[in-house]
Structure 1
Amino acid sequence: MFSKQRNGSLGRSSVCKPCRSAYNRELRSRWSREGSVGTHKVCPGCGQNLPLTDYYKAKSNRLGVQTNCKSCTSANRTERYREDPQRYIQYTKKWAEANRDRVRRNARSSRLLKKYGITGDEYEALLEAQDGRCAICGTTEPGLTTGGHLTIFRVDHCHATGAVRGLLCNNCNIGIGQLGDDPERVEAALHYLRNFLEKARL
């Protein structure tokens, strides 16, 4: 009478099937009465009719968000961890191994948002606008890190205002950084190189 649930006690849901069905019917009725479709959704955990922005995304679900709101989801995760820490840690590691690309994308998006104030989607849109190339030299190769690992195009930003200027390869990003992001120093370096080339031709 209980549905299978991997993270539930004894591998089963805490609610029997008839009760779950009755609850789902009531939930659908509440959605209809409260006009949840579109911008809001009733969370079955806390019973509140919340905006969709208060839910984590889930493309496969009806409204494109998870069943429970962010607060209830976090509370459920904490509870599952307290019940069986080792099992929760093993499950998390196994999921991360099976979804490495997604974990990388999420981690990169978090870093971009925290450091530069842009999302992963905004980064991809900026790269597409630059035709997948460095905004200075036009290369399609972002370059290598000091450890020899392939990197992504660097987010170049104004250190005074924090505004994002564009995406650069590793070499160009380091180059203008070493020149202090100073246009006059960049022009002086350009003049210096051109003078040398002109003298070399004589």
Structure 2
Amino acid sequence: MKRLETVGIGEEVTTMSPIPKEKLCSRCKKKKLLSEFCVRGDSKDGLSYWCGDCRKKYHRAEERKEINRQASKKHHKTEKGKATQKRAAQKYHGTAKAKLKYRRKNLKNSYGLTLEQYDQMVEGQGGVCAICGEINVSGHRLLVDHDHKTDKVRGLLCYRCNFGMGFIDDENFVNRSKKYLKKT
């Protein structure tokens, strides 16, 4: 490396700094000869940060990963690959983690509720149906009841009451039901 030094008044002399013969590879942390590093214009010393061996190992590993990715893509398009994917998906969807993820997503997308808000509603209702006051004995959790016109959440109901409310929300059905009951 060249360096300018001032020797006397107005005299500048170019001197050479001693050039190091070795450099530390930032990947393997070994000192190696400068000849083992590639040229790199944007580094301070004009050489690569990694030695040639480390660069080769890195690029070979990346190449292997890409080959595996491409092979995996090809495999997933075959009948055997599709069957493998299907089995893996079925296995995952049966897990508690997948069910919880689906439940959170469904509550959020359908009613704008988080699972925590749902749990607070259950606690607020004492764990019972808002209409009949019974614990949901059918084995199902309490269902979110909402006004279909405004999408506003009204409360939590057991399966039977929620099913009945679905009919009550339909005014035509209610009127037809009243007419039917009057006939009999």
Higher-Rg member (1/2) = 2
More strand by share: 2
Shorter-chain-normalised TM-score: which range?
A: 0.3 to 0.5
- When the two structures are superposed, what TM-score results if normalisation uses the length of structure 2? 0.44
- When the two structures are superposed, what TM-score results if normalisation uses the length of structure 1? 0.40
